Amino acid sequence: MTKVLIAVALGVLVGHFNIMSVNPKKISKLTSLCLFIMLLAMGAQLGANDKLLGDLGRLGWQALVLAFASIVGSVLLVRLAENHISKQLEQSKQKAKRAIGH
Amino acid sequence: MTWIILGSVGIGLALGHWLLPEQIVQYLDTVTTTALYLMLFGIGIDLGRQKEVWVRLWNMGWKVLWLPILIATGSLAGAAVAGLLIGLPFNESTAIGAGFGWYSLSGVLIAEIYNVETGALAFITNVARELLTFLLVPLVARYIGRFSAVAPGGATAMDTTLPVITKATGSDMAVIAFISGSVLTTLVPILVPFFIQLK
């Protein structure tokens, strides 16, 4: 957990202050390459595990329940605050307009 | 990109099932650990370079942050409740929910630092979240509300599902959806490892 956060935080620092002036395209290529290695590896571990492969059906419906519940939870909370958020943003917008006007 | 990601997992699956003997699968560990930290470092650089989000956030006012905070809280709560229903421990369901639709990262992250089964579930769940988002955004925008229509997309509201959201809600929501998606994207590599290690 700590190692994961340190790796991300180091990256953020390097990116924000442009410490190693590397080509962003090269970074995104490297990131994609690592991602594909990990996706292949995750697939390979799944494929080598017969018990898990037999369980893919169960994983599928569990995934649907989890995904649907996450969506419902997030929509519900935002719906409760919808009017408030919209009012707040309208005020910010008008403030910004007035500031430009002056 | 989606097809390359799904294809990689598919090829891996076939390799693991028919070709690679178990010893090689074990050797993979060093390779994937190295790849994990390089990838996280690269994602960090990408996040750190994104100054546009901060400028937009500044112009919009910080109150717009309430939107991604509510979306994050709602997603985690929803996943926790679903976890209770299907018998998943709290740390697993919330870590999966904290993927916010970013299936490639949440899947490999959990597979690497926790276990493959939960990683696979996180991957499929967050693929499903993105697919459901494409179906639900127009309905949510019409019957529930414009801000609510940003919620299903989670982290993907900054890229893959942004066009659907903008089409369903109007072009003035594009900036808000982009900011919300960016904030949630930043939270994924922080919250997923945080929740998965909870006991």
ipTM, 2 dp: 0.91
Rounded distance between C-alpha atoms, residue B147 and residue B98, angstroms:
20
Interface of A with B in 6-45 (CB under 8 A): 7-18, 24, 27-28, 30-31, 34-45
Is there a domain that residue B24 lies in?
Answer: no
Interface of B with A in 9-38 (CB under 8 A): 9-18, 20, 22, 25, 28, 31-32, 35-38
Range of the domain at B159: 51-196
Average the pLDDT over each of B26-30, B43-47, B108-112, B141-145 and give the range with the smallest value. B26-30
Nearby residues of B79 by Cβ (< 8 Å), 6 or more positions away: A66, A69, A70, A73, B93, B94, B96, B97, B98
The CA distance from A83 to the nearest CA of chain B, in Å, is 9
3-class DSSP state of B173: helix
Looking at residue B15, the DSSP 8-state letter turns out to be I
Which tens digits make up the pLDDT trace of B86-124? 999 999 999 999 999 999 999 999 999 999 999 999 999
Binning pLDDT at 50, 70 and 90, where does residue B152 land?
very high
Instruction: Kindly list the domain boundaries of chain A, sorted by start residue.
Output: 1-49, 55-102
Rounded distance between C-alpha atoms, residue A101 and residue B183, angstroms:
30
pLDDT at A100: 67
Is there a domain that residue B3 lies in?
Answer: no
Q: Which residue of B has its CA nearest to A72?
A: B78
Rounded distance between C-alpha atoms, residue B179 and residue A50, angstroms:
42
Binning pLDDT at 50, 70 and 90, where does residue B192 land?
very high
Interface of B with A in 156-175 (CB under 8 A): none
Give the pLDDT means over successive 10-residue stretches in chain A (102 positions): 88 87 83 90 87 90 97 97 84 72 58
Measured between beta carbons, which residues in chain A are less than 8 angstroms from residue B147?
78, 81-82, 85-86
pLDDT at A85: 84
Average pLDDT over chain B, rounded to whole? 91
Is there a domain that residue B68 lies in?
Answer: yes
The answer to whether A72 contacts B78, with C-beta atoms less than 8 Å apart, is yes
Is there a domain that residue B43 lies in?
Answer: no
3-class DSSP state of B59: helix
The answer to whether B197 contacts A74, with C-beta atoms less than 8 Å apart, is no
User: Rounded to two decimals, what is the model's pTM?
Assistant: 0.89
Total tally of structural domains belonging to chain B: 1
**Mean pLDDT value of segment B178-194:** 95
Binning pLDDT at 50, 70 and 90, where does residue B132 land?
very high
Measured between beta carbons, which residues in chain B are less than 8 angstroms from residue A86?
146-147
Measured between beta carbons, which residues in chain B are less than 8 angstroms from residue A77?
70-71, 73-74, 77, 151
Is there a domain that residue B15 lies in?
Answer: no
The answer to whether A66 contacts B42, with C-beta atoms less than 8 Å apart, is no
**Mean pLDDT value of segment B128-137:** 96
